[in-house]
Amino acid sequence: MTGIQKLYLLVPLAPLFGAIVAGLFGKIIGRAGAHTVTILGVAIAFVGSVVVFQDVQAGNVFNGTLYTWATSGSLTLEVGFLIDSLTVMMMIVVTFVSLMVHIYTIGYMAEDPGYQRFFSYISLFTFSMLMLVMSNNFLQLFFGWEAVGLVSYLLIGFWYTKPTAIFANMKAFLVNRVGDFGFLLGIGLIAAFAGTLNYAEVFEKAVELSSITVPETGWPLVTAICIGLFIGAMGKSAQVPLHVWLPDSMEGPTPISALIHAATMVTAGIFMVARMSPLFELSEGALSFVLVVGATTALFMGFLGIVQNDIKRVVAYSTLSQLGYMTVALGVSAYSAAVFHLMTHAFFKALLFLGAGSVIIGMHHDQDMRNMGGLWKYMPITWFTSLVGSLALIGFPLFSGFYSKDTIIEAVALSHIPGASYAYFCVIVGVFVTAFYSFRMYFLVFHGEERFGKVAVCHASHDADQDSHDHHGDEDHDSHHGLSPGQKPHESSWVVTLPLILLAIPSVFVGHLTIDPMLFGDFFKGVIYFSEQHHVMAELADEFHGAMAMALHGFTSLPFFLAMGGVGLAWFFYMVAPSVPAALMRSFKPIHTLLENKYYFDKFNELVFAGGARLLGRGLWKFGDQALIDGMIVNGSAKAVGLIAQLSKLFQSGHVYQYAFSMIIGVFILLTFWFNRG
């Protein structure tokens, strides 16, 4: 094993080592020991990822087996790494954001008794994600996929005494299992028809697989494989209708929201589809399916952000919407644009989540934006970095989000895949919606009237769905949150603000610096594939004349005016005429109710799927268990034996003459039937 191959192993194993030490020996090493060993492990992984990135840039790629686990016929189950440009990009994003979250957690979780356990979980999460993105085969991909899901379950339900947290982590677990069913079907079809689980070997057989139909159904095999794999992505990357777990994941601590939403779990599906581009390019039906699902998510999840009052949930629905944009890019074969937006989004979305967490700390764990206002004076670093994140999110020219988001919109406009017109409508309207709810949050939190520290602040609509306050230590969930009368917010400690500053830098510059090589250069050459029929990226390359020229042109484009319209409307509604939104809510009460109830997805799932499962379970219990098994088989057989015993008692008197008489009668009956048998 060469030195660089040892480094490949070191990158995922360093966070794993930190997780094991903090998890198993947390009481021995204490709080300082737990955060030191885990931060050191993730820092080593980040530095190692940068070194590997430089090695790949020098032209060195790796695709090899580290360990053969088992062999079944011609199918080999292996542990191996695929190190190329797509992998190293994901490695750097995951490890950098994870490092920021680890540092941030020192301040955010300082009062929590589960301090060491939390650091163990987030370090284990980082290991799981690295194993997922570094895999060179479907078996290891599935291992990382499930490991990420398992740790997310533990993290979402970190405060396991909260009923809402228990419900949220169970919801995430079950919904992701639905997606995993489709994912496993896709992998199973690959194993059955390709005879291998290795990426490179499957891709070599892609054209051959495209000529095969699935027995019994007649479906094109590649279409069935791709749709199955994408259903897994729908669960992991929270696309309609498997999106319902993601907003509820806010029940976990804020650092988890940043880690899960920004850079890891929800981006796993986007990465997977981009990795599988040689397969998806052979099925226009699958691409069209991906396109429509992504477009629906981008627009309609954005609408839900408008009615949220919990600061973390606004950012959560923003994540859903932006994931929709990435998925739309996948659907129009702009895979490089999808992962480019994944990268830029990871930085500014982590920034927004951690900024929201800083606000929550300053507000004494009050998350209701209606109780804030004017915080810019008290929390200048949080204010400025949140403004940077918001501008990046809405795609303001020169910020990172602009380059990736604008590219996706232009790619959709050039596409001719079925559903492209619908997708363009969704993403262009989504620009306005995103700008509106983003700056609604910004203005309500940082500007206007100071609404905190007032007596008897009550919002009737702040129901259980919105009441997802972060808490620390042994503090009861129903205990007081928010500032007491006369109290003022305060800026967070340096371990909280430093990650905000470090995340704000790439939120501004990384898009400008990387768009040329990542989208129009050779960065993804030989990694992401485009068929001759799908040439949107080639057309965009012809129109691209440099990052600065693109930004200057962005000031005259339709998305810019729509974004500024959203910002202007938010400013007017919440800074100039705050009575207008309330009047509109009363006038359009049915629409507001629909949005508040999240299109009744949860109600539908509760009534149909959960209710159906409970009905089935009750039926199996009452009829199958109690009536059939206990009643007829167990108790029925016992009663039958008892009845036979009772009847036998009538003939078991102990008198010889009765037995002789019975024998004579029996012989008589037997002879009668014998002689009359014909």
Cα–Cα distance, 181 to 93 (Å, whole number): 28
Mean pLDDT of 5-9: 89
Angle at 470 between CA 467 and CA 476, to 5 degrees: 80
Angle at 610 between CA 234 and CA 155, to 5 degrees: 55
pTM for the model: 0.85
Coil, helix or strand at residue 452: coil
Q: Between the CA atoms of 164, 166, 170 and 172, what dihedral angle is there, to the nearest 10 degrees?
A: 60
pLDDT digits over 105-115, tens only? 998 888 888 88
Query: What is the rounded radius of gyration, in angstroms, for the C-alpha atoms of the chain?
Result: 30
pLDDT digits over 492-525, tens only? 888 899 999 999 999 999 999 999 999 988 888 8
For the chain, give the mean pLDDT: 85
What pLDDT band is residue 363 in, cutting at 50, 70 and 90? confident
- The owner of tokens 């009237």 is 449
pLDDT digits over 280-298, tens only? 999 889 999 999 999 999 9
From residue 531, alpha-carbon distances to 335, 515, 534, 536 in Å are 12, 22, 5, 10
What pLDDT band is residue 434 in, cutting at 50, 70 and 90? very high
Evaluate whether 346 touches 93 at the Cβ level (below 8 Å): yes
pLDDT digits over 590-602, tens only? 888 888 877 877 7
Exposure class string for 410-430: b at 16+ Cβ within 10 A, else e: bbbbbbebbbbeebbebbbeb
Cα–Cα distance, 364 to 457 (Å, whole number): 15
